[in-house]
Amino acid sequence: QVIDVSKLGNSGYFTFDPGFTSTASCESKITYIDGDNGILLHRGFPIEQLAKEASFLEVCYILLNGEAPGKEEFSKFERDIKHHTMVHEQIHRLFNGFRRDSHPMAVLCGVTGALAAFYHQGLDVENPEHRRLTAYRLLSKMPTVAAMCYKYSIGHPFVQPKNKLSYAGNFLHMMFATPAEEYVVNPILEKAMDKIMILHADHEQNASTSTVRTAGSSGANPFACIAAGIASLWGPAHGGANEACLKMLEEIKTVEHIPEYIARAKDKNDSFRLMGFGHRVYKNYDPRATVMRETCHEVLNELGIHDDLLEVAMELERIALNDPYFIERKLYPNVDFYSGIILKAMNIPASMFTVIFAISRTIGWISHWIEMHEEGMKIARPRQLYTGYVQRDFKSKL
């Protein structure tokens, strides 16, 4: 809708586009989505190929640099990343200020924001080398902080990173090792975690990435910008959907209850929505959901786990995809529909699902933040359509 604001005391025209359904906020070379045909490319590479052939760190390199790394470039990149896995001792103490039963996303948001206090003096966001170092620090420290959030919540001591492990393996080590027992990383779980991270690495201008760009457009500290992204990711309409989806599947419990939930999702007087279903851009199957569903089967088979929730999820998908309500609105499973079942099989508690999404999306956030600085930016400043009072006289009622 184009609004003539000249009658509102301003000059010129602007568009009224709630939720930015048809407004591009920037140009970007990082990620391409064709929502009608279910295509997702990172720097031109299809997500299916990356999930099959690449490691998460390789995808990080590609997102940051635009090209796939050669052997030497990758070794250096991996060394650089691993150099920063530890966090300042003061950060350890910071945790004591949080309640043990806090949601880990609340703690992650707070601690990531606090990193700005450690990396601010001397940080010049206009300097490309400083920006690169910031990306490395964030990428390295996020799994460490995330695992600390978990350990703190269960009252266990923090586990230091082990740099000889892979990125995903190191995260699992920090989550599950204890001083009492040696933890050997299961290669099936390590591979599954790596794939989950690849599938969540970037998704162009979603709510959290747009938040990071908006916060960064004023020249703000990048650690604070990423904390803003984490806050945006937490909501159930975005990254919080993976936790909400598993809760929904557990509530449905058996296939017999599915019709009741489908009916609720279609009822406009009920706020319930099928979690892990629908997407602003995909009007076809989310290609990440296809890979996630395959991975879910693989992981459960390899671990010899039978989970009734997988049957519930598959039947729910089958029924929804044959229902006119979902067909007309082009609602398909998204990346979060199957991820919870895999993470549950890996003994990850549901409250950590969105935290793992945040670890994975950090590379997307920081790649966009860097691109915005490289391209030169204008401060993000949307307009509004004022619907309040016209001018009136104030008289105190006291």
By CB under 6 A, name the binding residues for ligand ACO: 19, 206, 237-239, 241, 265, 273-280, 329, 331, 334-336
Q: How far apart are CA 393 and CA 353, in angstroms?
A: 52
Question: To the nearest whole angstrom, how small is the minimum distance from the Cβ of residue 316 to ligand ACO?
Answer: 11
Report the amino acid identity of residue 147: A
- Known catalytic residue: 124? no
73's tokens:
């470039």
Looking at beta carbons, which pairs linking 38-45 to residues 24 or more positions away fall under 8 Å?
Answer: 38/282, 38/284, 38/285, 38/286, 38/287, 38/290, 39/287, 40/203, 40/287, 40/288, 42/201, 42/202, 43/67
Q: What angle do CA 290, 43, 243 make, to 5 degrees?
A: 40
Residue number, 87 or 309, with CB nearest to ligand ACO: 309
| Cβ pair 53, 45 in contact under 8 A | no
Q: How far apart are CA 149 and CA 163, in angstroms?
A: 20
Residue number, 88 or 266, with CB nearest to ligand ACO: 266
Using the structure block, give the residue that is written with the tokens 């949080």: 98
Question: To the nearest whole angstrom, how small is the minimum distance from the Cβ of residue 50 to ligand ACO?
Answer: 17
Residue number, 142 or 246, with CB nearest to ligand ACO: 246
Q: Would you report the helix, strand and coil content of the chain in percent, each value rounded to 5?
A: 55, 5, 40
Residue number, 143 or 340, with CB nearest to ligand ACO: 340
Question: To the nearest whole angstrom, how small is the minimum distance from the Cβ of residue 237 to ligand ACO?
Answer: 4
Question: To the nearest whole angstrom, how small is the minimum distance from the Cβ of residue 260 to ligand ACO?
Answer: 14
41 three-class SS:
strand
The CB-nearest residue to ligand ACO is 278
- Known catalytic residue: 257? no
Taken in order 11, 15, 19, 24, is the CA torsion positive or negative? negative
| Cβ pair 212, 229 in contact under 8 A | yes
Spatial CA neighbour of 112 closest among 200, 216, 238, 231: 231
Question: To the nearest whole angstrom, how small is the minimum distance from the Cβ of residue 203 to ligand ACO?
Answer: 7
Question: To the nearest whole angstrom, how small is the minimum distance from the Cβ of residue 231 to ligand ACO?
Answer: 14
Residue number, 108 or 331, with CB nearest to ligand ACO: 331
Q: How far apart are CA 334 and CA 314, in angstroms?
A: 13
Which of 279, 286, 368, 373 does the annotation list as catalytic? 279
Which of 194, 202, 286, 336 does the annotation list as catalytic? 336
Active site positions, annotated:
279, 336
